[in-house]
Amino acid sequence: SSGINAESQSERCCSLARHLMGLTASPAHTHANQWFERTLDDSANRRIVIAEAFLTADILLNTAQNIMQGMVVYPKVIEKHILEELPFMATENLLMSMVKSGADRQECHEKLRVLSVEAGKQVKEFGKSNDMLERIRGDDYFTPIHKLLSDIVNPSNFIGRAPQQVSKFIKEEVMPEIEPYRHSFDKEAPKLNV
């Protein structure tokens, strides 16, 4: 490790990826002018862009690998961050559950807005935890959904088909691209610590 933290290395990856994407403009302009005719106006462009693209991709991938090899995932920290934001993300679900129980949509929207602003103030101005769910539990108006709150704000309700989409993408797109090079992988794969 170069002593640079993962955040700085991630920012470096972002910067390099942006540079790499930008390198495609020069060949695209050349192609637009040449239309595959035999001219020499691309020779300097090609000598610079192709080499620079390969070098940029190489350091980008090396930096990403360096990040991944030292990565440690803390599920409880992730859970804490999700639970801090989830009540705000769930306001539409809370609203719809209240409406299903017979509440007036406009009145409920206003009550949720007020509670959300109050909870946000606790987080932003005082550095406290998000207490929106406690505020909902303490408001008799929301009695019809008090017993449903845990189900309404279950994080799995907010990820859609992401797990299936990721699995499908890895199986159908990533693995076929990796397979021809599997023999050249390091014997010891990078470890992800959870």
Residues 6+ apart with CB under 8 A from 60: 13, 16, 17, 20
Question: Taking CA 41 as the corner, what is the angle to CA 39 and CA 46, rounded to the nearest 5 degrees?
Answer: 110
pLDDT at residue number 1: 41
pLDDT at residue number 30: 82
pLDDT at residue number 188: 64
Q: Enter the tokens of residue 126.
A: 């005082």
Alpha carbons 105 and 109: distance in angstroms, whole number = 6
pLDDT at residue number 91: 95
pLDDT at residue number 15: 96
What percent of the chain lies above the pLDDT cut of 90?
A: 64
pLDDT at residue number 29: 85
pLDDT at residue number 190: 59
Residue 90 backbone phi and psi in degrees, to 5: -90, 5
**Which class for 2: exposed (0-12), middle (13-18), buried (19 or more C-beta within 10 A)?**
exposed
pLDDT at residue number 2: 47
Ranges of residues in the chain whose predicted pLDDT is under 70: 1-4, 36-38, 186-194
